[in-house]
Amino acid sequence: MAHIGMDLNRFILEEERRFARATGSLTLALTAVETATKIISANVRMAGLANVLGKAGKVNVQGEEVQKLDEMSNSLLIQHLSDSGQFYGLASEELDEAVFPENGAEGRYVISFDPLDGSSNIDVNVNIGTIFSIHKVVSGNEEDFLQEGSLQVAAGYVVYGSSTMLVYSTGRGVNGFTLDPSVGMFLLSHPNIRIPEKGGIYSINEGNYTMWDSRLKKYIDTLKARGTKARYIGSMVADVHRTLIKGGVFAYPADSKNKSGKLRLLYEASPMGFLIEQAGGRATTGVEDILKVKPKSLHQRVPVFLGSSGDIGELLEFL
């Protein structure tokens, strides 16, 4: 039985054991994500120092060239996920095209990920994160990445915040693990996360207000008139993490400049939508459920509205 403090590896193993036909492949796949994100976390914690030490000729104290944190995170994930042999293909927000690792030919899964989301926040010491989404291999080509979000076998994120947390779901609820840096292990800290049915917070970049549709303006004006709290970090992982725990609405809508919004379906909208819905909330483009959108391309963008079911229900009445 899961209990507070249980380590992530044991938790994943026990979850997979419940399936009679489980092969252990998903466990190995998730463990590769865990290992890579632990290393990314260690690098994020060193980021300020690495930048300072790296300023002189971009070489750090060990004489190595200082790599940008988002490039480093991307390389680490590609290396560890490829090495695991569990992934037939990888798609990264940082790469134009999908990668099909040599030793992944027998891999049962494809994974899409945003290696370091919220990268504009790196330099100002604000929370950032990694997001991932896993689907089964069905056709053995790029089409495998273009499956609906509802078909994800697992999705999750790691938030590099005041502590590092890994939150994931395999379709049986959402669980959160906090990294204990003294032993280097993720330990169960937030079992069975449920998003409140109604929250008192809205999260949107209001700098874009003049470019919004009048119906969205009216909705946000209504929340303001009611005295609803506004919180916007500008890192989706951190904003969604807060929404998951405290409830409310997170939105990145389409506007007159960005007709499909900013966030990517595969790397951001779909995995976060999966988690929010697994926790009892709702995720929509304003027109249809995010998890029902059939992706057309790897880097497709969609408008995103997600959060407490009560709040999203009200928002949809305005839209």
Per CB under 6 A, residues contacting ligand AHM are 93, 114, 117-119, 205, 234-236, 239, 252, 262
70 touches Mg ion (CB under 5 A): no
Question: Closer to Mg ion at the Cβ: 60 or 235?
Answer: 235
- Binds 205, which of ligand AHM, Mg ion, none (CB < 5 to 8 A, cut-off by type)? ligand AHM
Question: Closer to ligand AHM at the Cβ: 21 or 259?
Answer: 259
Phi, psi of 224 (to 5 degrees): -65, -45
Q: Which residues contact 18 (CB under 8 A, 6 or more apart)?
A: none
Question: How near is the Cβ of 185 to ligand AHM at its closest, in Å?
Answer: 27
DSSP state of 7: B
Residue 280's nearest CA partner among 184, 173, 186 is 173
114 touches Mg ion (CB under 5 A): yes
- For 239, the token pair is 């904003």
Q: Please check whether residue 216 is in contact with residue 278, taking contact to mean a CB–CB distance below 8 angstroms.
A: no
Question: How near is the Cβ of 115 to ligand AHM at its closest, in Å?
Answer: 9
Distance from C-alpha of 319 to C-alpha of 307, rounded to nearest angstrom: 16
Question: Closer to ligand AHM at the Cβ: 109 or 252?
Answer: 252
Question: Closer to Mg ion at the Cβ: 13 or 99?
Answer: 99
Strands 304-307 and 249-252, how do they pair?
antiparallel
Q: Which residues contact 224 (CB under 8 A, 6 or more apart)?
A: 230
Among all chains, which residue has been given the structure tokens 């549709």? 213
Q: Please check whether residue 126 is in contact with residue 233, taking contact to mean a CB–CB distance below 8 angstroms.
A: yes
Stretch that binds Mg ion, among 61-69, 72-80, 117-125, 238-246 (CB under 5 A): 117-125
Question: How near is the Cβ of 192 to ligand AHM at its closest, in Å?
Answer: 26
117 touches Mg ion (CB under 5 A): yes
Residue 158's nearest CA partner among 118, 199, 109 is 118
- Binds 285, which of ligand AHM, Mg ion, none (CB < 5 to 8 A, cut-off by type)? none
Question: Closer to Mg ion at the Cβ: 114 or 277?
Answer: 114
Question: How near is the Cβ of 263 to Mg ion at its closest, in Å?
Answer: 7
Site residues for Mg ion per CB under 5 A: 114, 117
